[in-house]
Structure 1
Amino acid sequence: MPTYNVTAQDVSPLIAYSAGWVDSNHGDALWANYSGGTFHATQSPGASAEITFFGTAYWVFGAKRGNHGSFTVTLNNTDQFTGSGFSANDEFQTLLHSNTTLPIGTHVLTIANGNDPTKFVDIDWITFTGGDGNPSSAGVTTTLDDATSNFTYLPSTDAWPSQTNNGLAPQYFNSTLHATNEHDAQALVSFEGDAIYLYGATSGNHGTFSVQIDDGPIYNLNGSAPAFRPRTLLWYQGGLKPGAHNLTMTNTGTSLLANNYMDVDYVVTESFASPPATSSQGSKAKTPIIAGVVSGVGILLIWIIAGLIFWSKRKKRRSRFAMEEGRAFHSNVPPPDPVIIPPDPAVVDGSCPPGPLRSNSTPTPNFAIGRDGKRRPDMGRALTTPGTFNEVASSHNPTLSDDEAPGPLPSTPPTLPAAKKVRKPLQLHSPLGSTDQPSPTTPLLNQGSNTGQSITSPILNSPSNSQLGAPIREQDWGPVEMATLPPDYQQATERRNPAVNH
């Protein structure tokens, strides 16, 4: 409910005066200085004025003059304040007392004159604050005229005759009013809202009446006044629960008095959509969501941290496992099989004794240089071409005797394996590093049949060359340009007999 102010003029029936109060003494030369030209004053000690309101604050306005004295303010019959209305210079429409720190609810405010019978106290108007003090709350105001269907008149409409022909009607809202002088005649108003204002007129022919909301307490009011005052706030009630309500007005004056009237002009209702309540509900509604989001984020962070820890430990375990597995693998790898070097075919067929080759105390190199200038292994035990070594040795050793001279070649030279392509004759390197080469006119090879090539040099068949008695192998000729593959191990190791010339 928002903050709003309600002002009750001194002539409003909302303010209940005890005996001793005078309504707007026009004998006072300064009466026009009061708001609306009206005021209530008393010189009686202890005379009081009381108002009941729903709100959180109040302000009492009056005058401070040279003939005014002390007064007391009582709130809810407990709190008391003593003030003074005296002023050497007259002050009108001034604040006499206020309290703006009240708890929200229904309060009863009482103003009483002091004990000096020569001093006055007066009241110009009283304003109080309704609502819960939240000015941002939005309110909806609805005005219901006395002629609308929201009004019901009892015991019948005849008891509440229309005053359209009344000369005072134009001073009422919409120029309409309902008035009665029947005792216990009632006017019922149905409405929806949190607060309601009841407006009518006070006058010299008006009397007492009562007001009740739903089944709540009954408030007794007085509509009597020394002058006619239309559109006066007769009564106000705030702090109602939202929803439908019923207001009942009852004429409590006696019908024996011709001047005991009560009239109804209109009512105003207010409905408040309280943002504080909505905001509170929204906060309550959002609180579980916020708590859920925070909890979810916290749980997610915990899972992420746990996952990182698990991943780190797993990575370490896998690294250790890989290292241990590697050690186990290397420790369990069996030693490689020994490499068996096959025996030299010349040793196998008895042509050459085992051990290093001895010929004139000069070893045979284990590589050959081909036509492309590259050093190549001789694919097995190094053997010089039979006859060539001794022949070269003899040419470099003049001390050889005739017994040591090489003998004649055998009549039938050995036959090499067949080859599809004729090998070109090669110049053999001297095992002693000599640059002397066999005579180019000496035929070393005969191109015979397609079964192979025959060696025709007489040097190769010397019988004195006993350690070179092994058959000549194709591998011993160095790099060979051939379309067929070299002989396999069996071919290289089989014992060859001298081939017969075809």
Structure 2
Amino acid sequence: MDSSAVNFNVTVDDFDSVLAYADQSVWTTPDPSSSDYHPESSPWLLGTFHKTSTVNASVSFNFTGPALFIYGFSGPEYGSYEVELDGSSTTASAYSSINGSTPHLLYGTSNLTYGEHELILRNLGALSSNGDGDGSSLLFDFLRFTVQLAPSGCVTMLSVILELILSCSASVSNTTIQEDDSSLTYTGTWGSNTSGNFSGGGSSYTNGDNATVSFPFNGSAVYVFGDKKNDHGLYGVVLDNGTEQIFDGISGCGGAFGQTCEQQQPTLAYFASNLAEGEHSLKITNMAGVNQSYFDLDSIVLTIPSSYAPRTLMNGSDSSGSAGNSTSGSGSGSSSSSTNAALTSQPMSFASTHGFMFIIFAMVWLSRR
């Protein structure tokens, strides 16, 4: 990871559609639409989690970046789990004779190559070799991964009077586009919802097959947020006319296509980073099918840097990371706010050691003129 760059920890909650559960039916979750749902007093991020006692139940996630941290819970009812990252596996246990602290770091690494990575988190049940006792469950709360939003903040310049100047002005800002913004183009039939949980107070929705929303944008990263409910389903996302990526917007409790288990707190429907300077395009297509499933668009957040320098992506991992028996990492713990969970982490900008040495060198050089 380039510590001199503007780096940011993106948070992915267990309800976010960028995650793929192999079988939602073997996981239990709280119902965010129930009357006893109180995220502000919950130890879990946004008041939700996914828990399973089924051996080999799994959740997968594809991401680009050099660091990853996965959080869950430890205690007497929890057992062993496997973290498979780019084909390499690490086995650990969340078993403890007493309930642990929240959040519990299930796995963490900050030495990955800056490239595309594939994660699978899998429940292994109770393994006597890991001293699990009777614990056989796995609880997944959220994960965080690191992306670079802008290059090093320090840029060497030569002024018109031939003085070397070190400019440390790189910065990033976020711009939110609401669902009714004029830059969005809708096709098919769309309706509108209102709720205080939505960004800006509203969202657009459709259950039309192949209904689309598209928009042009500039930025180094883009987040798409939406509602999540049991009557939601598959949708496709195309960035810059590339290969379509398929995601599933169905929520994880209450039975498929029921009018329950709605998470109106903004959930992450799509994310992309490491984008070059210039105009990009994004198109989202609802795949309603015979079930006439829905897609909801809440808002879009664009990260706009003061300068661009996309990383050259590399394959593979540099480190197997660490797993289990730890409660610290890059994340700062759970948040009970109703803001976008993906944006709750703060950007990290570090002064470059090489830049500092250059300042000293430049000062010495100028003093000798």
State whether structure 2 residue 89 is matched by structure 1 residue 56: no
State whether structure 2 residue 57 is matched by structure 1 residue 22: no
Q: Is the 8 A contact 1:21 1:40 kept in 2?
A: no
Which amino acid is the alignment partner of residue 17 of structure 2? P
Give the structure 2 partner of residue 229 of structure 1: 263
- C-alpha distance 241-199 of structure 1, shift in aligned 2 (>3 A): same
Give the structure 2 partner of residue 160 of structure 1: 190
Measure, in 2, the Cα distance between the counterparts of 1:104 and 1:51. Answer: 16
Give the structure 1 partner of residue 325 of structure 2: none
Give the structure 2 partner of residue 244 of structure 1: 279
Higher relative contact order (CA 8 A, sep 6+): 2
SS of alignment partner, residue 52 of structure 1: strand
- C-alpha distance 133-264 of structure 1, shift in aligned 2 (>3 A): closer
Q: Alignment length, in residue pairs?
A: 270
Matches within 5 A, 1:55-74: 55-74=65-84
SS of alignment partner, residue 78 of structure 2: coil
**Given the alignment, which residue of 196, 199, 217 partners 2:225?**
199
Q: Is the 8 A contact 1:2 1:274 kept in 2?
A: no
Q: TM-score, normalised by structure 1?
A: 0.50
Q: Is the 8 A contact 1:104 1:131 kept in 2?
A: no
Matches within 5 A, 1:297-376: none
Give 1:205 shift.
2.0
Q: Is the 8 A contact 1:104 1:132 kept in 2?
A: no
State whether structure 2 residue 179 is matched by structure 1 residue 180: no
SS of alignment partner, residue 87 of structure 1: coil
Matches within 5 A, 1:315-464: none
Q: Is the 8 A contact 1:2 1:272 kept in 2?
A: no
Give the structure 1 partner of residue 338 of structure 2: none
- C-alpha distance 199-268 of structure 1, shift in aligned 2 (>3 A): same
Q: Which moved more, 1:56-65 or 1:236-245?
A: 236-245
Give the structure 2 partner of residue 375 of structure 1: none
Give 1:116 shift.
4.2
Give the structure 1 partner of residue 144 of structure 2: 127
Measure, in 2, the Cα distance between the counterparts of 1:236 and 1:257. Answer: 26
Give the structure 1 partner of residue 339 of structure 2: none
State whether structure 2 residue 91 is matched by structure 1 residue 82: yes
Q: Is the 8 A contact 2:173 2:303 kept in 1?
A: yes
Measure, in 1, the Cα distance between the counterparts of 2:92 and 2:150. Answer: 27
Give 1:232 shift.
1.5
Give 1:154 shift.
1.2
Measure, in 1, the Cα distance between the counterparts of 2:219 and 2:268. Answer: 18
Q: Which runs of 5+ in 1 are unaligned?
A: 278-282, 284-289, 294-502
Give the structure 2 partner of residue 143 of structure 1: 176
Which amino acid is the alignment partner of residue 80 of structure 1? S
Measure, in 1, the Cα distance between the counterparts of 2:309 and 2:45. Answer: 36
- C-alpha distance 173-82 of structure 1, shift in aligned 2 (>3 A): same
- C-alpha distance 209-275 of structure 1, shift in aligned 2 (>3 A): closer
Measure, in 2, the Cα distance between the counterparts of 1:58 and 1:46. Answer: 22
Measure, in 2, the Cα distance between the counterparts of 1:82 and 1:133. Answer: 35
Q: Which runs of 5+ in 2 are unaligned?
A: 32-38, 128-134, 154-169, 254-260, 311-354, 356-361
Q: TM-score, normalised by structure 2?
A: 0.67
Identity of matched residues, %? 26
Which amino acid is the alignment partner of residue 137 of structure 2? F
Supply the RMSD in Å over aligned alpha carbons: 3.0
- C-alpha distance 229-135 of structure 1, shift in aligned 2 (>3 A): farther
- C-alpha distance 132-100 of structure 1, shift in aligned 2 (>3 A): farther
Q: Is the 8 A contact 2:179 2:203 kept in 1?
A: yes
Which amino acid is the alignment partner of residue 35 of structure 1? L
Measure, in 2, the Cα distance between the counterparts of 1:69 and 1:36. Answer: 24
- C-alpha distance 33-172 of structure 1, shift in aligned 2 (>3 A): closer
Identify, as 1 or 2, the structure richer in strand. 2
